Structure 1
Amino acid sequence: MDEATLTIADRIQAQLDKLTRAERQLADTILENYPASGLGPIAALAQDADVSTPTVARMVQKLGFKGYPDFQADLREELKAQLSGPIAKHDTWAEGAPEEHMLNRFTEAVIGNIRQSLGQIDTGDFDTACTQLADTTSRLHIVGGRITHTMAEYLFLHMQMIRGDVIHIQSTSNAWPHYLLDVKEGDTFVIFDVRRYESNTLKLAEMARSRGARIILFTDQWRSPIHSLADICFSSRIVVPSAWDSAATTLLLVETLIAAVQDLSWPDTRDRMQTLEDMFDQTKLFRKFT
């Protein structure tokens, strides 16, 4: 994996097993309000994490930086990337774009995103997420934003066939607080939130968490502020040679999740799907060539 393409959060996750107790404490503080947490003076970061200044200096070097100023420079670049809109992102890409065909360039970027993202997925977290989604004793809520609502709807349509008690909430709707009225402790929320993170979605997550809900978050490599509320967080790399971010890696994770949950609950899922097919036959929704 090319170290130059890694975010500081990526580097921290890769080094977790090698960090001392104090360095892990520091890592948690950095990730808590990432990337803004490391933009202040080194003494302020040390105080926030309740560690010594030398501890900060040592960990920064473990992450591959010569010193704290280099570490902060990378953080500032990441923050700038987070805040970039489509026009700014396209201008940045176009300046140094190679001459190869877009099909090859885009595909290569997506493959790289998939490799790096999957390399950081905790299989235990993935299995736990699948178990929670298959648990029909609790209600499942699925939430997307302005762009990611399409991903949320895709997951919702499949989960609705697999199990009952599934609700699709659109955080862009003014009616979303109504959905929280019946949320119970132990319910699961699957939330999609990528850069240009949405205030509505964060507020929804905060309120759901306060009511005892579990949160599974799909986000990008910089991680939505919701990650601090989430029980499980799946971070996907999204940068491609385009003014728009790529959803390919996130979609791969979602489709794999659907397949795994289907396997976990196949007897019940098969019955639901058969009932649905019977309804389709009655409504003549699909043409049959028999």
Structure 2
Amino acid sequence: MSKAKTSTIAELINGGRDTLTGADRKLAAALMADYPVVGLSSITDFARAADVSTPSVLRFAKKLGFSGYPALQQALRSEVSAQLQNPIEKPEQWSSKAPRTHILNRLADAAMDNLSASLRHVDHHVFDDVCKLMGDPKRHVHVLGGRITSHVAGYLHTHLQMARAGVRLVPGSTSLWPQHLLEITPGDVLAVFDVRRYDARVQDFAASAKQRGAKIVLITDQWMSPISRVAIHSLALRMDVPSGWDSNVVTIFAVEAMVAAVVKQNWKATRERIRELDHYYESGRRGR
């Protein structure tokens, strides 16, 4: 099935969630809770981990579009390899299959493909729930990015802070993270960005925030950061382009869509906040 060849396991599961049986859902939960280890074990061990029968594993693999369990395992191994890919290997991978066109066109085509694929695979209900959490005035929102995504986290923080109160950016210096963790209270939201070559420090922070009662919202790539194990919601976006680094075009789009949704759901309060901010901006320019 061609779809299984172009989509990650997480995308296939999310895309077909409405058709999953009870046994399928148990298998999906077991796989995502211990990705990819459970899926690379024997079919008997996978069935035991999900508390289902062995034939259920075979049906699950076929429902995702694979010819059988070995094909599902091969896809998992390929995903692990893609997650570990470094910036030196990426151009070599693309050069063997990309057309000889200008880099602007190649990047634009890849970015548009990523956006289209992301919109197909993202569950709109999950996206809406994420926006409701981040727009809830009773909750504080903390924003954290990793080595590659810190600027995207800053972009979300800047815009969300203009739309509502109680938004804090986790500082770039990890030496200050323990102090920030102390500021997280039960019910707070941690919006965290983590993409392949995943950042262990960011994962540790998310786990600690979870222990303090925060609701973790993960923005990640199609291979899914390990933070998904502690996240209440995960948005998996496509990022692969013909470059040494992955693209954040779709991530920025998602951030802007989130901010737009938060503004819409709290428009009266946001409008008043923006008016007050504009007043102080003008006062600052006049030197008052």
Q: Give me the TM-score of the superposition, normalised by structure 1.
A: 0.93
Please say if 1:88 is aligned against 2:94. no
Q: Is the 8 A contact 1:110 1:249 kept in 2?
A: yes
Structure 1 residue 34, shift from structure 2 partner: 2.2
Structure 2, unaligned stretches of length 5 or more? none
Report if the CA contact (8 A) 2:193-2:218 is conserved: yes
**C-alpha distance after superposition, 1:232-260 (max 9, x if no partner):** 11110111111111111111111011111
| 3-state SS in 2 of match to 1:174 | helix
Q: Aligned pair 1:186/2:187, yes or no?
A: yes
Q: Which amino acid aligns with 2:171?
A: Q
Aligned residue in 1 for 2:20:
19
The separation in 1 between residues aligned to 2:286 and 2:190, in whole angstroms, is 31
- SS of the equivalent of 1:201 reads helix
Checking the alignment, whether the CA contact within 8 Å between 1:171 and 1:200 is kept in structure 2 is no
Of 272-281 and 149-158, more deviation after overlay is shown by 272-281
Mean Cα deviation higher: 205-214 or 166-175: 166-175
Corresponding residue number in structure 1 for 2:222? 221
Question: Cα gap change, 1:73/1:148 in structure 2, threshold over 3 Å: closer, same or farther?
Answer: same
Which stretch shifts more, 237-246 or 27-36? Answer: 27-36
1:36·1:75 contact (CA, 8 Å) conserved in 2?
Answer: no
SS of the residue corresponding to residue 192 of structure 2 reads strand
Cα pair distance change 1:8/1:142, threshold 3 Å = same
* Structure 1 position 150, deviation (Å): 0.3
- Cα distance in 2, alignment partners of residues 2 and 250 from structure 1: 26
Hey, what's the Cα distance between the residues in 2 that align with 1:30 and 1:23?
Answer: 10
**In the TM superposition, what is the alpha-carbon distance from 1:182 to its structure 2 partner?**
2.4
CA contact (8 A) 2:38 2:49 kept: no
Distance 1:247 1:5 in 2: 20
Q: Report the counterpart of residue 109 of structure 1 in structure 2.
A: 110
Deviation at 1:170, TM superposition (A): 3.5
Q: What is the CA distance between 1:171 and its match in structure 2?
A: 5.8
Query: CA 1:201 to 1:171, structure 2 compared with 1: closer, same or farther past 3 Å?
Result: farther
| 2:73 aligned with 1:72 | yes
Range with greater deviation from structure 2 (199-208 or 13-22)? 13-22
Match of 1:53 in 2: 54
Q: Partner amino acid for 1:122?
A: D
Separation in 2 of the partners of 1:154 and 1:107?
Answer: 22
Q: TM-score, normalised by structure 2?
A: 0.93
Kindly indicate whether the alpha-carbon contact (under 8 Å) linking 1:83 and 1:196 is maintained by their aligned counterparts in 2. yes
Matches of 1:67 and 1:174, distance apart in 2: 48
The aligned amino acid for 2:197 is R
Q: What root-mean-square deviation, in Å, do the aligned CA atoms of Structure 1 and Structure 2 show?
A: 1.9
Structure 2 match to 1:43: 44
The alpha carbon displacement at 1:35 in A equals 2.7
By how many angstroms is 1:2 displaced? 5.5
| SS, match of residue 197 in structure 2 | coil
The alpha carbon displacement at 1:84 in A equals 0.7
CA distance in 1, matches of 2:15, 2:283: 54
Bigger mean CA deviation after superposition, 144-153 or 125-134:
125-134
Please tell me whether the aligned partners of residues 114 and 237 of structure 1 are also in contact (alpha carbons under 8 angstroms): yes
Deviations 1:114-136 (A, max 9, x none): 11111122222222222222222
Corresponding residue for 1:271? 272
Q: What does the per-residue CA deviation read over 1:170-229, in whole Å, with 9 as the maximum and x for residues that have no partner?
A: 365221110111221111111111111111111111111111111111011111111111
Q: Is the 8 A contact 1:202 1:225 kept in 2?
A: yes
Aligned residue for 1:128, secondary structure, equals helix
* Deviations 1:73-122 (CA, angstroms, capped at 9, x unpaired): 11111100001111112221122221122222211111111111111222
* Native 8 Å contact 2:38 2:45 kept in 1: no
Assess if the C-alpha contact under 8 Å between 2:140 and 2:166 holds in 1. Answer: yes
**What is the match of residue 6 of structure 2?**
5
Contact 1:240 1:246 in 2 (8 A): yes
- State the distance in 1 between where 2:82 and 2:184 align: 35
Q: Which segments of structure 1 move beyond 6 Å, counting only runs of 4 or more?
A: none
Percent identical across equivalent pairs? 42
Residue 197 of structure 1 corresponds to 198
| Correspondence for 2:121 | 120
Give the AA of the match of 1:113.
N
CA contact (8 A) 1:110 1:240 kept: yes
